[in-house]
Structure 1
Amino acid sequence: MPHVLCATCGTQFAAGAAPPAQCPICEDERQFVPAQGQRWTTLEALRGGHANGWRQLEPGLLAIRSQPAFGIDQRALLVRTPAGNLLWDCIALLDAATIEIIGALGGLAGIAISHPHYYTTMVEWGHAFGAPVWLHAADRAHVARPDPCLRFWEGETAAVLPEVTLHRLGGHFAGGTVAHWRGGAGGRGALLSGDILQVLPDRRHLGFMRSYPCLIPLPPAEVERMAAQCLGLPWEAIYGAFHEREITVGGKAALARSAARYRAWVERMVAP
């Protein structure tokens, strides 16, 4: 049987005689199983009814998003650097057009993923471009399709390209990761945050949760630790996981302001 995909989160599973009994990613409290129950699909079926759209966010940074929406509806970001291209986060749909476009742009030197909700078809992407897929080792147990292309890194930072360094923040997941792109924002630096730091719809604030769909918050001290780690880096812009979720000017100030607001409201809620 082909490698099936969870229709809710997009995770691709190792081949088996039958679909899994459940999707562990969706059974986890940070995601959810729809009220209608678990559904499965395949990459081939997805290719039949979806296509990837492209959008330039700034010079050297392209967003890739499937249309119509599938799974969690996150976007992948293609970072172009003199030392090669990096795909940040994955989307489930990898089709011939996407392979041709990325190939024409120089292929991929690597793939890095913020957390398990965006693992999706990462092995397909790794195979298509002969690229290593960088995952934090703290989240190894959430891998549904093991493969030699996966590179598990440990500790707090990993330099995957001369201009791009991964930083483990934790929070949403133990291995929750952001990428610091030194060449972003015209050389002022950019943070690629997935939803480890969630850019909010007003594009002036960020949110922090253990589970976004299940509304489980993080402790204020954890949020402050995560913010402090990022505020110590040089950057101006922050690009989140979803369409139009970016702050291109004043991203650092937005993070500091948001972390302070978060603590103030949580403390107010528990005050006698």
Structure 2
Amino acid sequence: MEPWICATCGVEHEPGATPPARCAICEDERQWVPAGGQRWTTASELRAAGHRQIVREEEPGLVGVGIEPAFGIGQRGLLVRHEAGNVLFDCVALVDEAGADAVAELGGIGAICFSHPHFFGAAVSWSERFGGVPVYVPEADRAWFPRRFGALRTWRDRLVLAPGLELVQVGGHFPGSAVLRWAEGAGGRGALLVGDTLQVVPDQGWLSVMWSYPNLIPLPPAVVEAVEQRVLALDFDRLYGGWWGRVVAQDAKAAVRRSLERYRARAGGPLPDLAPPTADG
């Protein structure tokens, strides 16, 4: 029997003759259950519907792993290539042979970790495809992981996965929300992989944070400040969000600072009186 996959969030659940009664991740106020009720699918059904793996380079040493057409909440994972073993940060719901073979040609996967529970995806299937590699979940978010799995490992605060690859728990969106600092990224200037622990927004060079993105529930300014302090203590110049194209290519640390300062100002004080631009700009 195949694992059941929630059709809304794309997180894999235990296999069985019938699907689970509920998806706890979607019933939480940070996600949603469709008006028509909980729906389930499987990897076989996704492949039959035309979904396939997309594996493409983001920069030297960093590869995006996604699904086309998009499924669930549409995220893509990031594979950091490292001589000590590649690390997959965030997962998608599907593992297909072509995608797994492409990842294998890049050196496979040595460990899997996440920004937060919405991006658990098919983590167990990805792990099993590569020999049962460890899957790291922060202690604070362990209860959200919906599958029994012997290679599951918990961590807290900080976890060095390999030289120059460090997971850091910053909180906010979830208590265990994390970022992965890749020291060799951005040509050695450092890159930060964030999923939507920080959300890269359409306005170029800006980010935001939320308790619930789909339901538009903000975080308190004090929590935003705590997230900011933990993130700005890290060295990085580039930042990768959780979707294709959501990247702050340079000066990302300054972008985090000004973005979260703006967030706190709007949340805690009067709104600015911004006039529309004039015809001559």
Q: TM-score, normalised by structure 2?
A: 0.93
Q: Distance in 2 between matches of 1:258 and 1:188?
A: 21
C-alpha contact (below 8 Å) 2:3/2:42 kept by paired residues: yes
Q: Deviations over 1:31-74 (max 9, x none)?
A: 00111221110011112221122332211111122111100100
Superposition deviation, residue 269 in structure 1: 5.3
Percent identical among aligned pairs is: 49
- Runs (4 or more) in structure 1 with deviation over 6 Å come to none
**Partner in structure 2 of residue 56 of structure 1:** 57
Q: Distance in 1 between matches of 2:105 and 2:116?
A: 28
Q: Distance in 2 between matches of 1:236 and 1:2?
A: 41
Q: From the CA coordinates, give the structure whose radius of gyration is larger.
A: 2
Paired residues for 1:117-196 under 5 Å: 117-130=118-131, 131-154=133-156, 156-196=157-197
Q: Deviations over 1:112-168 (max 9, x none)?
A: 1111101121000111112111110111111111201211112x1000111210000
C-alpha contact (below 8 Å) 1:177/1:196 kept by paired residues: yes
In terms of mean alpha carbon deviation, does 195-204 or 254-263 score higher? 195-204
Superposition deviation, residue 2 in structure 1: 3.0
C-alpha contact (below 8 Å) 1:81/1:163 kept by paired residues: no
Q: Which runs of 5+ in 1 are unaligned?
A: none
**Partner in structure 2 of residue 74 of structure 1:** 75
Q: Distance in 1 between matches of 2:103 and 2:57?
A: 14
Q: Which runs of 5+ in 2 are unaligned?
A: 272-281
The one-letter code sitting in structure 1 at the alignment partner of 2:62 is L
Q: Specify the SS of the correspondent of 1:62.
A: strand
Paired residues for 1:1-272 under 5 Å: 1-48=1-48, 49-130=50-131, 131-154=133-156, 156-268=157-269
Q: Deviations over 1:83-109 (max 9, x none)?
A: 221111000111001111111111111
Q: Distance in 2 between matches of 1:64 and 1:269?
A: 42
C-alpha contact (below 8 Å) 1:163/1:182 kept by paired residues: yes
Q: Distance in 2 between matches of 1:92 and 1:67?
A: 11
CA RMSD of superposed structures (Å)? 1.4
C-alpha contact (below 8 Å) 1:92/1:120 kept by paired residues: yes
Superposition deviation, residue 242 in structure 1: 0.9
C-alpha contact (below 8 Å) 1:25/1:142 kept by paired residues: yes
C-alpha contact (below 8 Å) 1:199/1:205 kept by paired residues: yes
Q: Distance in 2 between matches of 1:100 and 1:10?
A: 22
C-alpha contact (below 8 Å) 1:136/1:152 kept by paired residues: yes
The one-letter code sitting in structure 2 at the alignment partner of 1:84 is G
Q: TM-score, normalised by structure 1?
A: 0.96
C-alpha contact (below 8 Å) 2:54/2:99 kept by paired residues: no
Q: Distance in 1 between matches of 2:85 and 2:14?
A: 29
C-alpha contact (below 8 Å) 2:55/2:103 kept by paired residues: no
The one-letter code sitting in structure 2 at the alignment partner of 1:211 is S
Q: Specify the SS of the correspondent of 1:9.
A: coil
Superposition deviation, residue 205 in structure 1: 0.7
Q: Distance in 1 between matches of 2:17 and 2:103?
A: 33
Aligned length: 270
Would the alpha carbon gap of residues 269 and 32 (structure 1) be closer, same or farther in structure 2, given more than 3 Å must change? farther
Q: Distance in 2 between matches of 1:8 and 1:47?
A: 17
C-alpha contact (below 8 Å) 1:164/1:181 kept by paired residues: yes
Q: Distance in 2 between matches of 1:226 and 1:118?
A: 19
Q: Specify the SS of the correspondent of 1:84.
A: coil
The one-letter code sitting in structure 1 at the alignment partner of 2:146 is A
Superposition deviation, residue 181 in structure 1: 0.5
The one-letter code sitting in structure 1 at the alignment partner of 2:75 is Q
Q: Distance in 1 between matches of 2:112 and 2:94?
A: 15
